[in-house]
Amino acid sequence: MTLLIKNVQILCASEDFKESRDVFISGDKISAIGSFPNKKADEVIEGQSAYLSPGFIDVNTSSDHYLCLFDNPSQEDFLKQGVTTIIGGMCGSSLAPLLYGGLESVQKWGNISKVNVGWHTIKEFLDILDKKPLAVNFATLIGHSTIRRDIVGDSLRSLTKNELEVLSEMLRRGLKEGGFGLSTGLAYVHSRETPYSEIKHFAQITKEFNGVYATHLRKSGKEIGESVKETIKITKETGVKTLISHFMPLRKAEKEYETALLQIENLPSDFDFHFDVYPYDTSILALYTFLPLWVQNGGAAVMIANIKDEWLQPKIEKDLPLVNPDDFVVAQAPINNALVGLSLREIANLFNAPNYRTALLRLMISTELKAVIFYKNINSNLIKRVLASPKSLIATNAASFSESHKEKILKPERAASAFTKFLNLVLEDKIMPLEEAIRKITFEPARKFGLAHRGLIKEGYFADFAAFKDGQIKFVVVNGVVTIKDGAFQNKFPGKSLRHNA
């Protein structure tokens, strides 16, 4: 198959194209760039002087966590904002490798009972994904919590020497088989007490394979500086490429955040260090993360038993955070779908709760902690400053659900428009030059993650494109196939499961 895209303004980090060009694609690769008035192709798209960029790369997505890769192969939310490659396996949780075949590390997000796991290794997982339809390219990191829980289960303890060797071998094999790096979720209960020495050890292995170390920081809010220092220290001592996940400016901790941000921005130029952000003011949080830390002392079964314990309930309720009831909305509650869309204020009324802490505890009990919350806790005034930082990369940090998803669920705005909103801020508010913005969402993430022959519009590179004009995505091409045209999904699935150093 051949494709000819005519009359577009190419935006690309490798070359400054001053005049409109045509792009000829043969199969899944770019064959030629120039002016081809008489060239024929199986399909021709008239660009009408739209900008043509390499396909956008989303460095932090959750479609694997929510298991949407399997039941929503179109991943339309990403495609319609110009994203052609998504990276999963973030925050310590990935779908592989699995020593015993369990997906407990993602159960806080998705219903793991609906997936028939037929793989153990990264190779087996990617081989299975190859056989399934997928409209975007998918790359995965290896989740630290995923491999750790296979060994120690819900125990919160340090690894023995033998256990460390087993996990090291699992990580090495996963990186050899195509994993793009390692992720940690240090704020979550099963990883919070992971010793620095263990993280450094796995980061060193990741460095050996030129992978990326991505981390959900151990602490946020007013303690964010401590966690940023820890992450910088790992980068300094190992040389690993580093990405801090969803490094957002939380309310009531703006001063601490700005201090940490300056630390990152002032790092030496040889530090390959970034963080990802999105242009919205709402976090997506597992409900159990609102529990006091002393209650987060085991697996889901232990925590559920604790909140149902009549003797413990008064103490737990007393130590629950005081949240703004209108900024807290239930986005997903598979055990009690009727609660989806309700604010904490509405839940308090529904349960006749005397106060919002009581309402929060009753919500936890009624959903058995299996709920996901939209919590508006980000300072929107700082977001433009962070988006413009030379150290920021753009991400949705979200999943793409199908419209026919069986469980009732709220979609966050950023799932469908993080990249288009970012571009509109660039074009309308001039937060940075357009060329720099395109580099931030194409070439730079492709370089960092080692996405071979992607991120540039260059002969021999894969034909992943996003075309936009007047702030709107006009068409999207994935591996030489038009997947979005005039805002509509074309029911084609040319996406690939990518392998590092393939």
Domain shared by 306 and 433, yes or no: no
Among 375, 390, 416, the domain boundary falls at 375
Q: Which amino acid is at 192?
A: R
Residue 347 maps to a domain: yes
Residue 230 maps to a domain: yes
Residue 83 maps to a domain: yes
Domain shared by 341 and 263, yes or no: no
pLDDT of residue 407 exceeding 70, the answer is no
- What does pLDDT average to over the chain? 94
Distance CA 17, CA 25 (A): 18
* Per-residue pLDDT tens over the stretch 350-375: 999 999 999 999 999 999 999 999 99
Residue 496 maps to a domain: no
DSSP assignment string, 56-94: EEESS--TTTTTHHHH-TT-HHHHTTTEEEEEE--TT--
Contacts of 350 (CB under 8 A, 6+ apart): 339, 342
Question: Which CATH number do you get for residue 45?
Answer: 2.30.40.10
Percent of the chain past pLDDT 70, that is, above it, reads: 99
pLDDT of residue 466 exceeding 80, the answer is yes
pLDDT of residue 176 exceeding 80, the answer is yes
* Per-residue pLDDT tens over the stretch 103-155: 877 877 777 777 778 899 999 999 999 999 999 999 999 999 999 988 888 88
Domain shared by 60 and 188, yes or no: yes
Domain shared by 462 and 438, yes or no: no
Residue 494 maps to a domain: no
Domain shared by 102 and 156, yes or no: yes
Residue 499 maps to a domain: no
Burial classification of residue 346, based on how many CB atoms lie within 10 Å of its CB (0-12 exposed, 13-18 middle, 19 or more buried): middle
Domain shared by 363 and 396, yes or no: no
pLDDT of residue 190 exceeding 90, the answer is no
Domains contained in the chain, number: 3
Domain shared by 433 and 406, yes or no: yes
Residue 70 maps to a domain: yes
Question: Which CATH number do you get for residue 128?
Answer: 3.20.20.140
The tokens for 9 are: 């303004």
Among 348, 375, 402, the domain boundary falls at 375
* Per-residue pLDDT tens over the stretch 294-350: 998 777 889 999 999 999 999 999 999 999 999 999 999 988 999 999 999 999 999
What pLDDT sits at residue 502? 65
Using DSSP bridges, classify how beta strands 212-216 and 241-244 pair: parallel, antiparallel or unpaired: parallel
Using DSSP bridges, classify how beta strands 481-485 and 488-489 pair: parallel, antiparallel or unpaired: antiparallel
What pLDDT sits at residue 404? 65
What pLDDT sits at residue 405? 57
pLDDT of residue 440 exceeding 70, the answer is yes
Domain shared by 203 and 253, yes or no: yes
Domain shared by 75 and 36, yes or no: no
What pLDDT sits at residue 156? 82
Among 353, 375, 397, the domain boundary falls at 375
What pLDDT sits at residue 184? 98
- pLDDT tier at 24 (50, 70, 90 boundaries)? very high
What pLDDT sits at residue 102? 76
pLDDT of residue 94 exceeding 90, the answer is yes
What pLDDT sits at residue 106? 81
| Extended beta strands in 200-257, E state | 212-216, 241-244
Scanning 325-394, the segments in alpha helix (DSSP H) are 344-350, 356-367, 380-387
Domain shared by 60 and 49, yes or no: no
Residues in the chain: 502
pLDDT of residue 382 exceeding 70, the answer is yes
Residue 15 maps to a domain: yes
Neighbours of 498 (CB within 10 A): 23
Lowest-confidence pick of 87-96, 147-156, 158-167, 490-499? 147-156
Phi and psi of 30, rounded to 5°? Answer: -75, 125
Q: Are the CB atoms for 492 and 135 separated by under 8 Å?
A: yes
Contacts of 224 (CB under 8 A, 6+ apart): 217, 250, 253, 256, 257, 260
Percent of the chain past pLDDT 90, that is, above it, reads: 86
Q: Structural domain of residue 324, as residue ranges?
A: 286-375
Domain shared by 65 and 149, yes or no: yes
- pLDDT tier at 402 (50, 70, 90 boundaries)? confident
Domain shared by 160 and 24, yes or no: no
